[in-house]
């Protein structure tokens, strides 16, 4: 691990971060600093995410990364992790901003993910030097960096009191785009996102809308599948199918459900209210 630093007055210091009220005087980094020159979008949310929230974080991050957008998040469990993993599927890459020295980054269980981010051309970033004391409140302080780096912040799923809403608050103060996914009004994990929308955040339902708000061009992607996955996807392109209908046509139920889950994670299909699997628009 080679940790370097960049100072506020340096030419390579990220331009958008210079514009905030209190930019860090020094940034410590591990990885590819030049990734910060790409279009940047923060994707944040609760650590205690639902399966739906994690699926959407992965999907939005992946599809934006496939269009060259770099995804910025905080390396936490839940939405952050799903966003980083989704971003690694595309060319845009991902940046993790942590609240402690990079050598001591937490959670320790995500050090392998941090290594993977760097190996794939991404970046780990902190304003804390090695061994510098940090407190729980530093996670909220760190959030200003996540918001400050990016042209827009997308909140996937968040309770009313949450770090994700704190990040969105910073983004709003900096005059950046704030976006949120709507959620069920009875779901505690959606109270924060619904409140943001009520307060004026943009309601988004797909990655294309996020790209448009960031000023990023949207090109239709090619769907490349093989084997049974290609057969199942081709069947669903004809018409939505119920699990029973698919089970009759494809005999290996275990493999069928594994592939359906993978296609959902890729943002290629969804399970509808009519209890059928349907293909999502790819344009």
Q: How do residues 186-215 score in pLDDT, each as one tens digit? A: 999 999 999 999 999 999 999 999 999 999
Query: Under a CB-based contact definition with an 8 Å cutoff, are residues 57 and 45 in contact?
Result: yes
Percent of the chain with pLDDT over 90: 83
Average pLDDT, integer, range 86-104: 95
pLDDT for the residue 176? 98
Percent of the chain with pLDDT over 70: 98
DSSP state of 43: E
Higher pLDDT, 266 or 184: 184
Q: Is 260 exposed, middle or buried (0-12, 13-18, 19+ CB in 10 A)?
A: buried
**Distance between CA atoms of residues 208 and 214, nearest Å:** 10
Band of residue 1 on the pLDDT scale cut at 50, 70, 90: confident
Query: Under a CB-based contact definition with an 8 Å cutoff, are residues 163 and 55 in contact?
Result: no
Domain 227-279 has CATH 1.10.10.10: yes
- pLDDT value at 264 more than 90: no
Sequence spans of domains, the chain: 4-214, 227-279
In this structure, what is the dihedral angle of CA atoms 205, 210, 213, 214, given to the nearest 10 degrees? Answer: 170
What are phi and psi for residue 91, nearest 5 degrees?
-90, -15
Band of residue 250 on the pLDDT scale cut at 50, 70, 90: confident
- pLDDT value at 283 more than 60: no
Band of residue 222 on the pLDDT scale cut at 50, 70, 90: low
- pLDDT value at 88 more than 90: yes
- pLDDT value at 115 more than 70: yes
**Distance between CA atoms of residues 78 and 72, nearest Å:** 14
- pLDDT value at 261 more than 80: yes
**Distance between CA atoms of residues 88 and 117, nearest Å:** 7
pLDDT for the residue 218? 85
Domain 4-214 has CATH 3.30.470.20: no
pLDDT for the residue 221? 67
Structure confidence by residue, pLDDT tens digits, 160-172: 999 999 999 999 9
- pLDDT value at 234 more than 60: yes
Do 4-214 and 227-279 agree at the fold level? no
Q: How far is CA 8 from CA 74, 126, 190, 257, in A?
A: 21, 13, 37, 51
Structure confidence by residue, pLDDT tens digits, 131-154: 999 999 999 999 999 999 999 999
């Amino acid at each position: 691990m080679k940790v370097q630093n960049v100072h506020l007055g340096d030419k390579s210091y990220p331009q958008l971060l210079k514009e905030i009220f209190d930019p860090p005087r020094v940034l410590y980094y591990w990885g590819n600093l030049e990734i910060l020159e790409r279009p940047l979008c923060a994707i944040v949310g609760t650590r205690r995410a639902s399966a739906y929230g994690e699926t959407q974080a992965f999907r939005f991050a992946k599809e934006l990364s496939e269009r060259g957008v770099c995804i910025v998040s905080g390396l936490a469990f839940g939405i952050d992790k799903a966003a980083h993993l989704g971003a690694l599927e595309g060319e845009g890459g991902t940046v993790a901003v942590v609240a402690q020295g990079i050598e001591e980054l937490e959670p320790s269980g995500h050090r392998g993910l941090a290594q993977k981010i760097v190996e794939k051309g991404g970046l780990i970033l902190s304003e804390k030097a090695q061994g510098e004391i940090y407190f729980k409140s530093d996670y909220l302080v760190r959030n200003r960096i996540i918001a400050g780096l990016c042209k827009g912040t997308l909140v996937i799923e968040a309770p009313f009191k949450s770090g994700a809403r704190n990040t969105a608050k910073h983004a709003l103060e900096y005059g950046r785009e704030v976006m949120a996914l709507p959620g069920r009004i009875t779901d505690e994990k959606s109270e924060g996102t619904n409140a943001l929308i009520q307060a004026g955040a943009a309601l988004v339902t797909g990655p294309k809308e996020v790209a448009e708000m960031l000023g990023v061009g949207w090109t239709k992607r090619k769907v490349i599948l093989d084997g049974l996955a290609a057969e199942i996807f081709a069947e669903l392109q004809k018409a939505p199918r119920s699990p029973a209908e698919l089970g009759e046509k494809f005999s290996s139920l275990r493999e069928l459900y594994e592939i359906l889950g993978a296609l959902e994670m890729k943002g290629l299909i969804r399970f509808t209210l009519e209890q059928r699997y349907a293909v999502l628009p790819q344009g």
